[in-house]
């Protein structure tokens, strides 16, 4: 197995993170990593308990003198978002992540890194195998399938946890303590595909690529482009002006990632080919001018391709493009109470052309359930303009902040003592599993923090080495000073 990170400090954390990277662990396909983690625990005589969903807890009894402290749960999820650049050959189902070091950052070679949330699990593992860190009764909760809708923690047993304090290590900003997060749900539309024989013309593959993408909870306010929206705008204009016909449209593949690339196969009337090629170049110049600050690498182009057997009917194409054009995307409302916090947003996340349907998935987030539901209704109505059959997922709840949390007060005191200034105490727009854990364990005192991660859910994902050590040192001090029972 690779040994790229083992010399970094803290060695135990980076060695375990690299261990995790060596095993495939896409959402819903975490079995290889889970098996490796269970074997890792067995080799160290660490107690393990699994629930019916597949979530599992690894436990270690209190060290001498710490038996009277409140038991603590460290929590992270074992799955990762799998995104890669189009020109990278990589199979997330069979290959381990290929890491490399760039100054103060750890990155992956052309793919997502999985530091979200492998680094949290790695810190839990480092605590479990430590021999010199005083701690109370300690357990590490590893949940499944967080990234595709938190289905693992939704099925978490209501009796498996013994801790009274939970530290979630899935936050991504050094120096910040997270005490609340938005809830979310997905709204899906199925447009029953209507096709006909391809008319005369020249076929092209239209491509929008080079966008930054990113986490739809963390970067949604940053003004980044959405490839699905860019493609919709282009196809709508070309359809109206040049009577192009669409054979397929695909963009995005994760509900919580902003689409970075979009692809469509179109057929252009022979007498409109020259104008079409000119229009593609003009559109590239237009969107580059609009987004050059946030999307300096955006590229729009078209290349000749094989003629498809069928295209969408004119009526179906018109309805779907109108629906997509009306589809909201981005920030819906900023918080009126917390400066800089997105309160409600939506992500036009996935467009896929299947054999019998065009499928769209969108993701709504909000710290207020009423606004989340209201925005989902707007999305539903936009889908219905195109004749879609719409379904809405159950979603997950917001984590309501508790400013009087004892573990927050203790951690903030430790932080200020170590670093000479107060930590940022915040709620975030991204979703954390704490809301669902809190529903099942209402008396659990919860806090979330973590090292600096950037561009998660994209192939540019990276984790800062220095802030990882800082996060680990802080975690150890909190563990050492856990309040008495």
- State the catalytic residues: 79, 146
Long-range contacts of 232-235 (CB under 8 A, 24+ apart): 232/321, 232/324, 232/325, 232/327, 233/325, 234/206, 234/208, 234/280, 234/283, 234/300, 235/206, 235/264, 235/266, 235/321
Measured CA to CA, the distance from residue 77 to residue 147 in angstroms comes to 9
**Rounded CA separation 171/452 (Å):** 8
- Name the residue among 179, 259, 180, 250 with its Cα closest to residue 219: 259
Report the C-alpha gap between 224 and 52 in whole angstroms.
40
Dihedral, CA of residue 114, residue 117, residue 118 and residue 119, to nearest 10:
110
Q: What are 187's two structure tokens? A: 């709204």
SS3 156: coil
- Residues 411 and 450: beta-carbon distance below 8 Å: no
Burial pattern 44-64, b for ≥16 Cβ within 10 A else e, equals: eebeebebebbbbbbbbebbe
Q: How far out from the chain centre does Cα 349 lie?
A: 11
> Hey, is 322 helix, strand or coil?
helix
And the tokens for 158?
A: 């209501």
In this structure, are residues 178 and 449 in contact, taking their beta carbons and an 8 Å threshold? yes
Give the number of other CB atoms < 10 A from CB of residue 240.
Answer: 11
CB of 201 closer than 8 Å to CB of 270 = yes
Phi then psi for 282, rounded to 5 degrees? Answer: -65, -40
What is the rounded CA–CA span in Å between residue 269 and residue 245? 9
Helices (H), 368-405: 369-385
**Calpha distance 419→484 (Å, rounded):** 25
Alpha helices in 130-223 (DSSP H): 151-154
**441's torsion region: left (phi>0), alpha (psi -120 to 50) or beta?**
beta
Taking CA atoms, 15 is separated from 2, 22, 73, 106, 444, in Å, by: 10, 11, 22, 13, 30
């Amino acid at each position: 197995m690779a040994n790229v990170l083992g010399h970094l400090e803290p060695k135990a954390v980076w060695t375990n993170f690299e261990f995790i990277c060596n095993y495939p662990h896409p959402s819903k396909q975490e079995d290889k990593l889970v098996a490796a983690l269970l074997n890792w625990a067995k080799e160290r005589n660490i107690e393990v308990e699994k629930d019916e969903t597949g979530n599992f807890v690894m436990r270690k009894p209190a060290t001498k003198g710490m038996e009277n402290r409140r038991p603590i749960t460290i929590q992270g999820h074992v799955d990762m978002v799998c995104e890669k650049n189009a020109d990278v050959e990589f199979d997330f189902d069979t290959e381990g992540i290929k890491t490399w070091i760039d100054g103060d950052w750890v990155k992956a070679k052309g793919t997502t890194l999985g530091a979200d949330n492998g680094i949290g699990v790695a810190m839990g593992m480092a605590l479990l195998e430590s021999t010199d860190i005083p701690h109370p009764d300690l357990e590490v909760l590893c949940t499944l399938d967080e990234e595709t809708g938190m289905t693992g923690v939704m099925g978490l047993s209501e009796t498996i946890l013994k801790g009274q304090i939970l530290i979630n290590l899935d936050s991504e900003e050094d120096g910040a303590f997270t005490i609340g997060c938005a809830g979310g749900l997905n709204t899906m539309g199925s447009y029953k595909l209507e096709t006909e024989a391809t008319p005369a013309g020249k076929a092209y593959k239209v491509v929008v690529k080079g966008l930054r993408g990113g986490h739809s909870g963390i970067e949604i306010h940053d003004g980044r482009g959405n490839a699905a929206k860019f493609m919709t705008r282009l196809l709508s204009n070309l359809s109206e002006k040049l009577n192009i016909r669409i054979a397929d449209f695909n963009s995005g593949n994760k509900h919580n990632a902003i689409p970075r690339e979009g692809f469509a196969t179109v057929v252009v009337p022979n007498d409109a080919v020259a104008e079409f090629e000119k229009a593609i170049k003009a559109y590239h110049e237009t969107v580059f001018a609009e987004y050059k600050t946030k999307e300096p690498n955006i590229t729009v182009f078209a290349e000749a391709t094989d003629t498809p057997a069928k295209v969408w009917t004119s009526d179906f194409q018109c309805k779907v493009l109108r629906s997509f054009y009306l589809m909201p995307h981005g920030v819906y409302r900023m918080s009126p109470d917390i400066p800089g916090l997105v309160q409600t947003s939506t992500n036009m996340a996935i467009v896929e052309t299947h054999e019998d349907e065009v499928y769209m998935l969108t993701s709504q987030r909000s710290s207020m359930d009423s606004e989340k539901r209201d925005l989902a209704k707007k999305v539903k109505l936009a889908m219905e303009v195109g004749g879609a059959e719409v379904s809405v997922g159950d979603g997950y709840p917001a984590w309501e902040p508790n400013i009087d949390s004892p573990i927050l007060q203790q951690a903030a005191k430790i932080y200020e003592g170590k670093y000479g200034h107060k930590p940022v105490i915040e709620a975030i727009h991204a979703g954390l599993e704490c809301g669902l854990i809190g529903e099942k364990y209402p008396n659990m005192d919860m806090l979330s923090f973590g090292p600096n991660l950037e561009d998660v859910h994209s192939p540019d994902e990276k984790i800062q080495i220095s802030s990882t050590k800082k996060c680990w040192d802080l975690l150890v001090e909190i563990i050492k000073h856990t309040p008495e029972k």
